[in-house]
Amino acid sequence: MECTVTWTGAAGTRSHMGFVAETGSGHVLTMDGAPDEAKPENGGSNLAARPMETVLAGTGGCTAYDVVLILKRGRHDVRGCSVKLTTERASTDPKVFTQIHMHFKVTGRGMPAAAVERAIAMSHEKYCSASIMLAKTAAITTSFELAEA
């Protein structure tokens, strides 16, 4: 796996802290920093997601992928899955995530809550590389709700 990240904030551009990531699979992701009122030259222009937001989004995608796949492999009729991630970060550098809560909303037909609970646990204990890495610095908690389709 590879990715090339290029700074797009050269002199004369709109964003001082913009970046474009080109993934090994051929996709492009843009990132930008928050505006810095005290030092505008150090801030971004709020034109794209923050880099740490992309870490969080990737983690959500990784675990949701696992949950759907585990449920499908268990022959459950899963129709929808979303996960809302909320975090707390350290107050000093490096401002790592210290707490992450993931709330899953799973929709399906006749799906037992125990199957959803098991899929979430399996993702976090065995399959989701991103959340397993983040668990080295953050306490990760989960919850879920199940809706009938």
Domain chopping of the chain, boundaries? 3-42, 51-148
Give the pLDDT score at 10.
Answer: 64
Q: pLDDT (tens digit, 9 = 90+) per residue, 44-94?
A: 888 899 999 999 999 999 999 999 999 999 999 999 999 999 999 999 999
What distance in Å separates the CA atoms of residue 25 and residue 85, rounded to the nearest whole number?
A: 25
Residue holding tokens 């306490």?
139
What distance in Å separates the CA atoms of residue 103 and residue 35, rounded to the nearest whole number?
A: 30
The model's pTM is: 0.90
Q: pLDDT (tens digit, 9 = 90+) per residue, 84-120?
A: 999 999 999 999 999 999 999 999 999 999 999 999 9
The DSSP bridge partners found for residue 80 are 107
Average pLDDT score, the chain = 93
Q: How confident is the model at residue 15 (pLDDT cuts 50, 70, 90)?
A: low
Torsion of CA 30, 13, 39, 52, to 10 degrees: 0
Number of Cβ atoms within 10 Å of the Cβ of 32: 22
Evaluate whether the domain defined by 51-148 bears CATH number 3.40.830.10. Answer: no
